[in-house]
Structure 1
């Protein structure tokens, strides 16, 4: 049952990505292999593999790519790439193993399986091995376990040990309970519209839980404002924002999830937001406003950091937000570094505005939420990972990665999808 559940999570639908740790065990040609994999995203994966051979222990490091392009042929593959020995005692001929899932005659995913590159290149499939794959909670990592996969000269060894420890941050002296900054979360979502209501409801759940969790660990106050259902209107949005008053050290995050469009003679690159939740509502200037208008209203409030996101189409009026299929991705936990979160939410100032699509483009979604919204959260999680020791977290890097992932996702999300380039 657990194996089937993990396969479903890995192959069935989008999960908010961050980074995931896996333990893999398999036997090939009489040799027992143990793998420790760290998955950041489909292009950033590595696995350490340890094995005993002829009386000695050998340890290799392999880079991996998560290849989804063969799904229509019934395969999904963790493709083994560059490989080198960390150290060896009795073997120097290791070939990277490819880890894959296959669809059976009943259209059910089976696996994972392992096959090394040598046998794959020689079309020898008799050596395919079953793999036991287990997700690892970083809190359960121990020095004894990690020493099978790392030497004490490896920086990642100490990074992973630190990840297993409870984290604390040093709050600024002024941040008493009364004066701590507030993270204001304002969600504007068209939940009643028939075609995308399921997706926008998912966006509310995903983003609300994400930012409330961040506020909690950073000891910030959290102010949640949701404009949805029959309150979803331009008048309600304008009234709410006019009466909204953040403090000068506060963070304001506004997310719009719904339909969007642009007029044929429009010069502003950001989309118009459509506040109709029924096809029978008349289109008029009272039912739309530009994302830039919201940004300007929020900027005038004087908060330290503002983030304005519009996950909607930016195409000619009358074109609906598009639904894509579910797609392959890895399940993950957050594993966030509190100092990195503090850098982004407590120490950064500025204004950010972004939209899920460029002029003339659709914005895709599915039952798990908008592609851009989900990728924004995934990119945030990756940027603040405890395993990303080398880089200082930056909002521009988060947005850049979210845009890149959304573009890639729009190309594979459904057969008829056109490219979606967030701005």
Structure 2
């Protein structure tokens, strides 16, 4: 090989290497834009009303065998309100924990189907639709609990309050009638709200709920074999309903406390639960000015 041939071969090799580097550097670079946007899946059965920030509508449906009863719990709490929001959060927590415990200690004979509306989701449309969508069988139980503001007018014909749901108030009587029309074996319908104008907060001595396990025999009598149908509200017409940031609404707290005690006793029954709830709330507000005293009301159907 001559010097000229060696030179040309070396030059050719260098040119090939330079061309390869040039081609590599000319590839288009795509800038990194971060991870893709998350995909949001909306359940078709979930109402769109009240879905803005600060509200939640959650449902935990269950598929239950025909041999068991389902407790359909609908919990509605005005958790966004500046005055009573903290109190209603506690109410919602107490009610959910109570009926989760009832189902959990029923030896598999009770299932819990839970629907919770909180914050801006507590519109009239959402509340009534949540009730309408309950798939209630003949042996099922419906528990409805509202915790929030309430009022009434001089023209309000019934003893029950109007619940301050968003956009439009909802008559508690409408809720009672809707639930009755579903023909459950048992229902408990509660409204912890004023039957006058607005809620007030007084820090009074609370009734401590009982601790410990429930008796299966009492669960059997009060839930599995019971046909009780009852509605109750935290105050009679013309009264406020009180609560605080420690115990929640006095009516809800007293109900949870007395039902907990009843389920822990072999003698527990529904009549004493509501009578004792009424007694406790009356006692807790007895030292207040007359306009701030509170007397719950209830009715068996």
TM surpasses 0.5: yes
Q: Greater strand share, 1 or 2?
A: 1
Give 2:171's aligned residue: 290
Counting matched residue pairs gives 231
Give 2:259's aligned residue: 380
Q: Partners in 2 of 1:361 and 1:208 — Cα distance?
A: 27
Distance 1:245 1:330, change over 3 A: closer
Give 2:137's aligned residue: 247
Give 1:201's aligned residue: 89
Q: Deviations over 1:152-191 (max 9, x none)?
A: xxxxxxxxxxxxxxxxxxxxxxxx9553111111001111
> Which of these residues, 211, 235, 238, is aligned with residue 128 of structure 2?
238
> Which of these residues, 157, 161, 166, is aligned with residue 267 of structure 1?
157
Give 2:276's aligned residue: 401
SS in 1 for 2:89: helix
Contact 1:334 1:381 in 2 (8 A): no
Q: Partners in 1 of 2:162 and 2:70 — Cα distance?
A: 29
Contact 1:411 1:417 in 2 (8 A): no
**Quick check: 1:422 aligned with 2:296?**
yes
> Which of these residues, 215, 222, 232, is aligned with residue 344 of structure 1?
222
Contact 2:209 2:257 in 1 (8 A): no
> Which of these residues, 248, 253, 266, is aligned with residue 369 of structure 1?
248
**Quick check: 1:182 aligned with 2:47?**
no
Q: Partners in 2 of 1:307 and 1:329 — Cα distance?
A: 21
Q: Which 5+ residue runs of structure 2 have no aligned equivalent? A: 1-63
Give 1:123's aligned residue: none
Q: Deviations over 1:280-328 (max 9, x none)?
A: xxxxxx511211100110111111101000000001xxx3111111525
When the two chains are superposed, the root-mean-square deviation of aligned CA atoms in Å is 1.9
Higher mean C-alpha displacement, 246-255 vs 177-186 = 177-186
Q: Partners in 2 of 1:410 and 1:399 — Cα distance?
A: 17
User: Cα offset for 1:335?
Assistant: 4.0
User: Cα offset for 1:247?
Assistant: 1.1
Contact 2:137 2:184 in 1 (8 A): yes
Q: Which 5+ residue runs of structure 1 have no aligned equivalent? A: 1-175, 277-285
User: Cα offset for 1:329?
Assistant: 4.8
Give 1:305's aligned residue: 186
User: Cα offset for 1:417?
Assistant: 7.0
Contact 1:324 1:417 in 2 (8 A): no
